Amino acid sequence: MSPIKDPVSAEPATQDPELLRRLLRAKDRMDAASQEEWPVTRLARVSGVSEAHFARSFKQAFGVPPHRYLLTRRVERAIALLRDTELSVTEIAFQTGWNSLGTFGRVFRDITGDSPGAVRVRERAAAHHLGPVPNCIVSAAHRPNLTTAVSEKRRQVPAGIIGSNNEPEAS
Amino acid sequence: MSQGVEVVGLYVRDQDEALEFYVDKLGFRKHTDARNGNYRWLTVQHPDQPSFQLGLFKPGPPVHDDGTAQTLEAAVAKGAMPPLVMVVEDCRAAYERMTARGVEFTQEPVDRYGTVDAGFRDPSGNGWKMIQSRR
């Protein structure tokens, strides 16, 4: 069925629904707690498959390797926190599961094509399109960036995380 | 006579298993269970919604060829079917009750936008959001 065949893969073209259901369980667990560490041993145990088969089966089922999927979910959560909260980029990096701000910035840019600071500005500018989001959240998103202390910004800028076109300090 | 949607169906991997799940674990009632050869029309109903039935259908002949049935079953098992939403009076109480019955939750109750929501899956992989009604 699949026109592109991985020459090193011995996986069948169609996967057993019972296996897929168990792989979905691992994906659900990553969705529920993407800030946690999800080594293949842990994921394979959730799915009840061997470690050797897990990564390949997961990629075949969901199109991306499990670790890449996890990083994508973490970045999605980080984007939501950038948009909806006043947390600093550093706090968001640690809350979403990164041990290093540098790795967070690199992966974030790799996935979104932009820095966390620039994404924060862009997401907030687009926030008025979100119909179902209650007014209090929308207005919080439009609030001038008064809660980010100057000292905090000074800390963030050398880390190369905040884009140069940052929001004004007060307006 | 009232007009409107009467039945919306889900694909499930096993109709007996699905019936047990929706009736015994979620509290639905069996509405119709009619067989014709190996075709089985099976619907359940929420006790508070007498005008609506949820169909529990298994992909396969005579409606689907083997390849199509396989594709549909894979999509269900991957959680790729459209989202389903259930409204409850008290999300946390429902979560406790359903967890005790062995429902597989994918998301614990979370306060959001002035209400509470949680997520669970049926045995086949269909994903439900459970949202507390606004008072």
Q: Which residue has the tokens 């991957």?
A: B78
Contacts of B73 in chain A (CB under 8 A): 17
Q: Distance from A171 to chain B by nearest Cα, in Å?
A: 28
Closest Cα in chain A to B122: A21
Region A110-114: mean pLDDT is 94
Q: Give the CA distances from residue A102 to residues A67, A91, A158, A160, in Å, rounded to whole numbers and listed in that order.
A: 18, 13, 11, 9
Task: State the virtual CA torsion across A158, A95, A69, A166 in degrees, nearest 10.
Answer: -40
Closest Cα in chain B to A33: B107
- Asked if B124 is an interface residue toward chain A (Cβ–Cβ < 8 A), one would say yes
pLDDT at B134: 78
Average pLDDT, chain A: 79
| 3-state secondary structure (DSSP) of residue B78 | coil
- Per the DSSP assignment, residues forming a β-bridge with A16 are none
A116-153 pLDDT, tens digit per residue, is 999 999 999 887 665 555 544 444 444 444 444 444 44
pLDDT at A144: 40
Checking if the pLDDT of B58 tops 90, the result is: yes
- Give the residue among A148, A143, A150 at the shortest CA–CA distance from A125: A143
Residue to test with chain A: of B14, B73, B104, most A Cβ within 10 A: B73
Q: Distance from B74 to chain A by nearest Cα, in Å?
A: 5
Q: Could you give the CA distance from residue A147 to residue A10 in angstroms, rounded to a whole number?
A: 55
Residues 6+ apart with CB under 8 A from A20: A61, B74, B77, B78, B125
- Asked if A13 is an interface residue toward chain B (Cβ–Cβ < 8 A), one would say no
Checking if the pLDDT of A167 tops 90, the result is: no
Average pLDDT, chain B: 95
Q: Could you give the CA distance from residue B53 to residue A102 in angstroms, rounded to a whole number?
A: 53
Region A110-121: mean pLDDT is 95
Q: Are B125 and A24 in contact (CB under 8 A)?
A: yes
pLDDT at B2: 83
pLDDT at B31: 98
How large a percentage of chain B has pLDDT more than 90?
91
pLDDT at A138: 44
Position with higher pLDDT, A3 vs A19: A19
| pTM of the entire predicted model | 0.80
The reply to whether residue B76 touches residue A17, judged by beta carbons under 8 angstroms, is: yes
Region B111-126: mean pLDDT is 95
The reply to whether residue A28 touches residue B121, judged by beta carbons under 8 angstroms, is: yes
ipTM of this complex: 0.94
Contacts of B67 in chain A (CB under 8 A): 1
Nearest to B77 among A20, A28, A32 (CB): A20
A82-105 pLDDT, tens digit per residue, is 999 999 999 999 999 999 999 999
Residue to test with chain B: of A22, A28, A30, A139, most B Cβ within 10 A: A28
pLDDT at A130: 57
Strand pairing class (B7-11; B53-57): parallel
How large a percentage of chain A has pLDDT more than 70?
67
In chain B, which among 41-100 make CB contacts under 8 A with chain A? 67, 70, 73-74, 76-79
pLDDT at A11: 56
pLDDT at B114: 87
Amino acid in the structure at residue B72: L
Closest Cα in chain B to A58: B78
Confidence of residue A157 (pLDDT cuts 50, 70, 90): very low
Token reading at A122 = 């862009």
Instruction: Say how many CB pairs under 8 Å bridge A and B.
Output: 43
Position with higher pLDDT, A52 vs B77: B77
pLDDT at A3: 45
Position with higher pLDDT, A143 vs B43: B43
pLDDT at A155: 46
pLDDT at A46: 97
